[in-house]
Structure 1
């Protein structure tokens, strides 16, 4: 009875402007679409490669690691769950930032773990107490939703050293939209208590195909491999993800377009009286004294954004960076509301 389900954003139908679930607004790579259109029926009939061997090899080459240091998953949410199941005992403590991705609390509740929250500062920075905690597992989204705060890899390295008995899981779902060099992946060889998770949902327009992966080493990876479902990533998703990795030009073009549109959206909202925090994701967090009412009014006008009814986020709206025409529709809908 204590467990609460994760509440995803609404999925409106028709012509609604959907800026509430941080999907990538751009279409997938043409190479991905070619793979989907040419997918053979025989591959649908057979079980997929249980180890996603070709995909892991492609990801390993992309990151400069070995395939043994890569685990493919059914979205990064599966990876995040597996980490907890592989490392935590029932009733143990799990550390999270506050606010952050609420799915971590769902994971904790699934095996009755105690969630220890570390409230972020007024500038959304880490609290001093984070450095000295001793929880065995820490989830660290970077950039951290719903604000988009980026924590430098140097700070993550120091945190791993300061908490050697804590497994630090860096959830990099939005790292593609941060400046180059922001990832913690390069820290893995020298920090055995570190795991990095990634997803194709935000960066490569594959949210509907559910592909994520973990980068980890040694005993941690061995434990994850033992617990994963036998056929956790379907054959079409494996093939599409490989095609997405191969089309680096499409990735760069769409990422750059999102970053530019994010900056335009932040400026426009600031001009309309919102307090917009710096974001390194494909979304912005816009605070306003009347945020709950604006959220409802936008919904009535068929513009969907996200509002979180929690103390630190109640006066803010998380708004996905969409296409320019979606930004224009949002700004038009705000006329008369602010």
Structure 2
């Protein structure tokens, strides 16, 4: 008797059946694997990533006016604090909750520390609020145009962006945002890339009539009239979150640190889901030091605002359409009978002058120009004259 004689059918039939069943199993597994892989892959493949401004090559002398950075260094108190760093700052983990920084923020802004959360830039906090306060399938109402990260992060978490166009003057219509019945509304105030502010009473009317989450990103608030901030409203409205950053007025872009203020309930929810030790010890130290020298911050903000107004007036004199801005940048369209915004962007790059061009509806005829020093802006104006 052979080893196959006990089979109830010939061995060759067994082999054929085995092969067929095996092929079916493999095919089934491939389908399952593809479905599982595609389920993870497809949402990411559909995303349009947020694209930051270009960086000059190392060693190239350039004028960088494309990322809304401060043209002035951070406060001297920051340099002093960094010079005093000991090895233990790097050896030990940082303060996970940024307690010392939160106490300093509380003293500066008159907000209880329990209503403040710090993050690795306000971008981490934007991600965190989508992660913890919204669910997959929810909708978020977003003005257009605005900061592109709001929509990118929403899609990452399966939240549907409902885009509401601003009016012909690029002003945000809070009533239309509320009419979307979205679970949340997110507003940059002043808005980016336009630089146009909403007045605080208008945002408060929204808070009074809309019950969803309202997020107000005040990244550029230090350059605007103080009266437009709604930070003081968080104790009145439980559904309000206000975002701030140290990147712009405090000149700490490279440190990556921001904070949010909200009700204790919302802050507790965000604290539970935040990354442990997301804000490094050096960043915390730099932010603490900058808060100790608010006079310097106000001085540099004033210089930038004066330069902005002078530059905007000169562009207007040359026939540009300049959107009125209360930030550290201007959005402006060159004369329609001259060189296009896209061509100007390319020609300026050749001269190592970096500005921002958005190839998007309603923006493709404009440049967004960060405000540098007076010397920076004069160099840009001279280049625009040469280009024609």
The normalised TM-score by structure 2 is 0.85
User: Aligned residue for 2:104?
Assistant: 58
Q: CA deviation at 1:203?
A: 1.1
User: Aligned residue for 1:332?
Assistant: 382
Alignment of 1:134-173 (within 5 A): 134-164=181-211, 166-173=212-219
| More moved, 69-78 vs 265-274 | 265-274
Alignment of 1:316-327 (within 5 A): 316-327=366-377
State the SS of the aligned residue for 1:270: helix
User: Aligned residue for 1:291?
Assistant: 341
Match status 1:230 vs 2:280: no
Q: CA deviation at 1:191?
A: 1.0
Match status 1:305 vs 2:355: yes
| More moved, 312-321 vs 294-303 | 294-303
User: Aligned residue for 1:12?
Assistant: 56
State the SS of the aligned residue for 2:241: strand
User: Aligned residue for 2:130?
Assistant: 84
1:289-325 Cα distance to aligned partner (Å, 9 max, x none): 3111111111111111001011111111000000111
Determine which of 189, 213, 227 is the counterpart of 2:235.
189
State the SS of the aligned residue for 1:202: coil
Q: CA deviation at 1:336?
A: 3.4
The normalised TM-score by structure 1 is 0.98
Q: CA deviation at 1:267?
A: 0.8
1:12-44 Cα distance to aligned partner (Å, 9 max, x none): 132111000000111110000111111111111
User: Aligned residue for 2:19?
Assistant: none
Q: CA deviation at 1:242?
A: 0.6
Match status 1:108 vs 2:151: no
1:243-282 Cα distance to aligned partner (Å, 9 max, x none): 1011011011101001100101101111222100100110
Q: CA deviation at 1:131?
A: 3.5
Match status 1:35 vs 2:73: no
Contact kept, 8 Å, 2:47 with 2:156, in 1: the verdict is: yes
| More moved, 195-204 vs 107-116 | 107-116
The 1:272–1:337 alpha-carbon spacing in structure 2 relative to 1, beyond 3 Å, is farther
The structure with more radius of gyration? 2
Q: In angstroms, what is the RMSD of aligned CA positions?
A: 1.0
Alignment of 1:239-254 (within 5 A): 239-254=285-300
Q: Gaps spanning 5+ residues in structure 2: where?
A: 1-44
Take 2:353 and 2:77, find their aligned partners in 1: how far apart are those partners? 31
User: Aligned residue for 1:121?
Assistant: 167
Take 2:181 and 2:268, find their aligned partners in 1: how far apart are those partners? 24
Contact kept, 8 Å, 2:71 with 2:372, in 1: the verdict is: yes
Take 1:109 and 1:236, find their aligned partners in 2: how far apart are those partners? 32
Contact kept, 8 Å, 1:132 with 1:162, in 2: the verdict is: no
User: Aligned residue for 2:25?
Assistant: none
Q: CA deviation at 1:223?
A: 0.6
User: Aligned residue for 2:26?
Assistant: none
Contact kept, 8 Å, 1:52 with 1:238, in 2: the verdict is: yes
Q: CA deviation at 1:89?
A: 1.1
* Structure of greater relative contact order (alpha carbons < 8 Å, 6+ residues apart): 1
User: Aligned residue for 2:328?
Assistant: 282
1:114-144 Cα distance to aligned partner (Å, 9 max, x none): 1101100011122342242311111100010
Contact kept, 8 Å, 2:130 with 2:157, in 1: the verdict is: no
1:64-123 Cα distance to aligned partner (Å, 9 max, x none): 111101101100001111111111111221111000000111111211221101100011
Match status 1:3 vs 2:53: no
State the SS of the aligned residue for 1:236: helix
Take 2:85 and 2:381, find their aligned partners in 1: how far apart are those partners? 40
State the SS of the aligned residue for 1:264: helix
Contact kept, 8 Å, 1:133 with 1:163, in 2: the verdict is: no
